[in-house]
Amino acid sequence: SLQKIDIPDGVTELPDHACEDCTALSKVTLPKAGLKRVGTRAFCRCGKLDSLKLPAGLTEIGAYALSSTNLKTASVPNSVVSL
């Protein structure tokens, strides 16, 4: 099962349900710039995901995108206008 994912530069949106129910996922690397939206339930029920650095310029985090994770830290940039 999926334990790590690196989202490459140039990706502007993570689709709804992109990694939902990836219960073994513990590390996600997002692009440093250009990502504008994390879709609804994108990381929902990723119970081993305990940290996530959201990039500057991100404007939207969909409903329940980070629900039922094990996040202890998450840096949300000031550019986010919808959560």
Output the pLDDT for position 74: 77
**Residue 11: Cβ within 10 Å count:** 12
Q: Is the pTM of this model over 0.85?
A: yes
In tens, the pLDDT along 30-80 reads 998 899 999 999 999 999 999 999 999 999 999 999 999 999 877 889 999
How far apart are the C-alpha atoms of 8 and 29, rounded to whole Å?
Answer: 8
- Which pLDDT band, with edges at 50, 70 and 90, does 21 fall under? very high
How far apart are the C-alpha atoms of 56 and 79, rounded to whole Å?
Answer: 7
Output the pLDDT for position 40: 98
Buried b (16+ CB within 10 A) or exposed e, 12-35: eebebbbbbebeebbebebbeebb
